[in-house]
Structure 1
Amino acid sequence: MFNRLITKSKQRKTSQPTENTSHSSSDLPTVSKDLNENLKAIKDIFDNANDLIIREFKIGTELQ
């Protein structure tokens, strides 16, 4: 899901889209196992998107 969003964002940023664009696996950013890294990547990619709202929330309780 995130790879599709990232790819679409990169396509919009290019000033002159080409008809024969092929993405190799090295061009696409990878999804990390760390949620904070993924969140930072999404915020960096969609920095100027004023219609994107990111809300953080917790599910459940943590017992200690």
Structure 2
Amino acid sequence: MAVAQTLPMNTVKFIQTVQEGVYRNLVQIAEDKGITVQDLIRAVIIPEWHAQTRTASRPPQQRSRRS
């Protein structure tokens, strides 16, 4: 019997398509870390991308300051 999963109200689902070679790389990295590809994307890749993107989009004077 399948169990329905309740998501918090502030979550959003999305679908991502990647090339086969990229997916194979993600699988290998996830296996090396002992996690799933979904966990890798959610817990590692997205936070790192977000941090890099946020830093890169700030004006230079703000990048050198620590918050």
Pick the TM interval, shorter chain.
Answer: under 0.3
* Greater C-alpha radius of gyration: 2
Q: Which has more helix, going by share of residues?
A: 2
TM-score (norm 2): 0.26
Which one has more relative contact order, counting CA pairs under 8 Å at least 6 apart?
A: 1
Taking structure 1 as the reference length, what is the TM-score of the superposition? Answer: 0.27
